[in-house]
Amino acid sequence: MLKRIPLLLCALVAASLTAVSLDAVAQSAAEDAGWQEEKPAEEPAAADDSEQAAATDGEKAEKKAEEPFDEDKPMVRGKTVYMADRGIILPLGTGEARLDLFVGLNKGMEGRVFGVGSALASERNVGLTFRGTLWGPFEMGMSVQYLQTLDNGKKTRPHGNFDGTTTPPSTGRGPEGDGTRRVAGYGYKFADGFSQFVPAYLYGRFKVVEQFGVELGLQIPTMQADGFNRPALRIGLPVQYIAVPGLLKIHARPDLLIGFGTTEPQDSAMPSEPVNVGFYVDAGITISVAKVFFDVTVGYGLDVYPFKSGYLPMSILVGYQVLTRLDVFAGFTLENMTPEFGGAGDARSLSVGFQCRF
């Protein structure tokens, strides 16, 4: 019996080890089974994340689609903005260069004039123009004209004599019959000679709201400063309304012009007062048909002090957006439909040009 005790002990130890091993195996199998059960549970979670991300992207896209369209931003992003949709000022960080070429087609008057300039009724910045928006709603710009005449400028003006008489011009009289020419109400006359640097214009424009702005500018005579050819302050109130986006815009602008500086005119037909006051207003419509645009503008100018009868110009412009930021155009102007001399269609001119934004 005693001899069997070691055998019983060995059997008990073996049974214990076997039980422990079986428990370990069972526990390991249970863990494996649990892992297998949890793994499929993680896949739906991943699917839920994908669905949530897709939903978030959809919400962002929907929110972006609901954002109001800003007419200015596309010009910066390189997208086409039709002429009828353009604002009172350029978008922030955008500049523009413009070149106008001008030729006079006057009948029976001073028609032999050409060069860098324009007589469009709606334009204050004519000739060679650079402008840009430097800060928020504030735009600045400058323009200058250079014209060439086939007649000496002195011949186009009446001249006062020491005996009080006036010598009439020996050649054409200009759109108003006395040699006076205009840039949106600002009057000037050609100097002696054939090359004419005519008024430069420096301005700043502030956009109050999308439909209304305020402009303060300075007309700078680049030739002799006598008579009309003098520094002048221009205060303008540009107004526009986009009636049909992408198709129709209505625009108007009244200007007050105040000329200053004591002068001693050699021309008795030119004012000698140290201050003169003028008024100019224009109104028109711009129509865009895809990349083609049309504009018709009628203006009216009047010298209030010293008084001089008003003049009535009208311009028709047609243009095409060749590229996203490049426009070409051509315009025909009747410079004065109420002339003192001649007929309503005698004083006329043609302007062609292009403008490029950058």
pLDDT of 252 > 80? The answer is yes
Q: How is the chain split into domains, by residue range?
A: 73-357
pLDDT value at position 58? Answer: 56
At position 73, the amino acid (one-letter code) is K
Residue environment code for 285-314, b if the CB has 16+ CB neighbours within 10 A, otherwise e: ebbbeeeebbbebbbbbbbeeeebebbbbb
Average pLDDT, the chain: 78
Query: How many Å apart are CA 322 and CA 293, to the nearest integer?
Result: 12
CA atoms within 13 A on the CB side of 243: 10
Q: Which of 339, 341, 321 is nearest to 329 (CA)?
A: 321
CA atoms within 13 A on the CB side of 38: 6
pLDDT of 91 > 70? The answer is yes
Contact of 221 with 207, CB cutoff 8 Å: no
pLDDT value at position 67? Answer: 45
Instruction: For residue 108, give the 3-state DSSP assignment.
Output: coil
Where is average pLDDT lowest: 2-16, 50-64, 271-285? 2-16
pLDDT value at position 320? Answer: 96
The tens digit of pLDDT for each residue in 270-287 reads 666 778 899 999 999 999
Contact of 195 with 148, CB cutoff 8 Å: yes
The tens digit of pLDDT for each residue in 65-78 reads 444 444 444 444 45
**Where does the pLDDT of residue 312 fall: very low under 50, low under 70, confident under 90, or very high at 90 and above?**
very high
What CATH code is assigned to 73-357? 2.40.160.40
